Structure 1
Amino acid sequence: MFRDLSASSVFMGLLAAFVGFASSFAVVLQGLRAAGATEAEAASGLMAIAIAKGIAAIALSGKTRIPIAIAWSTPGAALLATSGALPGGFAEAVGAFLVSGLLLAATGLFRPLARVIERIPASLASALLAGVLLTLCLAPFRAIAFNPLWGLVILIGWVVGGRIGRVWSAPGALAGFILVVIFGVRPEMSAFAALTTAAIQPPIFVQPIFTVAGLVGIALPLYVVTMAGQNLPGAGVLKAHGYPTHAGLVLSVSGFASMLAAPFGGHACNYAAITAAMCMGEEAHPDPARRYWASITAGGCYVLLGVFAGLTAGFVALAPTVLIESVAGLALLGAFAAAAYAAFARVEDREASAVTLLATASGLSMFGVSGAFWGLLGGGAIHWLRKTK
């Protein structure tokens, strides 16, 4: 394994973990608080789910030797934010988290579902990936609109890095981001002093309470949105890059990891999509067989980010989210272009691919399920109708 290790895969893994944590940790905290957690319990939940997904990513990528990235359920956290607290408080929500994790793990052992994931047409999988990446790839230009000077510094860093060599494009963008944070966003050193007040907080065990209200109100909806909003698109990203999905194994391991994190406030973890694409592109390594180290690195970084969750959240809060997303968007431009090309390469699949891509990128959400699921469902229907006419 260590002969496959490379500097480019380590860098992309670190960048993927930073982007994955920074872009959505606030949603996780908001969701846990809305479910009845105290500030300390919400911080414990953030720590637990970050460590759980990091360990799962290391184990899965090390075993399969493919870049399987794991994320926390952002749609699930958004669902918690809108569902409100249960009568039994956060302990009842924790019981629901355990049941949801059990359902996710059991789904991995249910082979028919794994076969459905593996039969997604390659063109639709590529369209799904392009749709997932499109919004993020627009972030560099939204950053310029937000603040032309800051956005252009990051873009120029990406261009200059690319002139040195393709693998230096993303490091160049990150260097531009660091310059913006130090000299633009927070030039006063006093802003960094606040970070030193955040201590490592131990995880808090919450005795779970199991109720019918928790099952119906949180466990089942959390399971559904995690499967449809994260696991299905995540498997599609693997397929779009030509890797086997290992659906049964990934669902079982991520479900089990969710169960381990639940008593400490963690809600759910699952396949990653956007950060997975960062670990699977040529920027991670020219040889697809050696890119799995990017996911292993990301997993290790997630564990550290979880342990130091308070410090990490404080540092990330120094910069607007759009600037963090712009770095990721620039790193993923090549992956978006390749996915879009593959999605529309076959003339007979173009309409179905267009439906999948546009619905996924539109921000469509129905019944708490994101546009990625509906895009794949709609594109699949068009694909089937074209084949059967």
Structure 2
Amino acid sequence: MLIDIIAGARPNFMKISPIIHELQARQAVGGRLRFRLIHTGQHYDARMSGDFFAQLGIPEPDINLGVGSGTQAEQTAEIMMRYERVLRDTQSKLCLVVGDVNSTMACAITAQKQHIDVAHVEAGIRSGDWSMPEEINRLVTDSISNWFFTTSASAGANLRKTGISNDRIFFVGNTMIDTLLHNIGKLRKPLFFEEHGLKEGQYFVTTLHRPANVDGTEKLADMLHAISVGSRDLPCVFPIHPRTAKTLQSLAELPKNIILIDPQPYLEFNWLVKNSRAVITDSGGITEEATVMGIPCLTLRETTERPETVDIGTNKLIGTNPKDLQPALDRLFAGQWKKGGIPEKWDGKTSQRIVAAIEEILL
């Protein structure tokens, strides 16, 4: 019984890793499910892709579509055409897609048109912000999926509002947290840490890549200035996303405490988060990891598709106005940040629940 597991971009790799390991474990004791790992090549830089495969113990892809970069439409179209050729050669019984990147939506559409069921891991999350490409990908993928694996009760409620029946929704938890908990003892200090004179607990981790924050030179400059001032001259370690790098080239200079570094492998990046004073980000996934590690997280967005990180965890929505960052950082330095808790079923056993549900569906 063959399953296609689709991965295309850095966030996907953390989500598929524990599912693959669980499938391998069940195969070893006679399980009937088999999988074919398909890497679309949406992220093709070794720092964004290859390092993650090596560190997370993900096997070499059975098929690499090699799509590479392009506009939203170009990338989506290429993935669909190339995946369609794969399915015409050998059909699978189920297409398992994760998250909300272009690869997720493109392969879900392609599989359905080949009459192959689609299961969506991390289904039902919503930000309500249609200016985010990821939100469109979520809406489209969920509208054509057959089976839904959710990270939270609110995600399931979102799906039920659209008429999806309970027997197609499985509240399983968060596979990103499976990966984090499995690797928490393996996290390692980056080589640059001492070179920059950094000290544990005395620096911030910053990530920015959303258009609202980085597509305008003036807006990015204002945001970095606010981060620099609000952090009270503590170092801010800033791994540069390719999208952000383009705008940074137009800036005359950076605040002195902003430390630009290359995108980091999984083990090094999460070591940085775990040992930081706090995280300042516009990412979604990092808010989940920070919550489980108990690290204060300030999210520079107006909305989030992961409300449990705010309602239960260590995350707080600050918004995209740089002026709103200072009061939040003042509360952090005053020791007034919430402690936070861990959402339900974020326990490291999500992949077990997913594979058990797939066995129930297919076998």
TM-score normalised to structure 2 length: 0.25
Say which structure is richer in helix. Answer: 1
Which structure has more relative contact order (CA 8 Å, sep 6+)? It is 1
Say which structure is richer in strand. Answer: 2
TM-score normalised to structure 1 length: 0.24
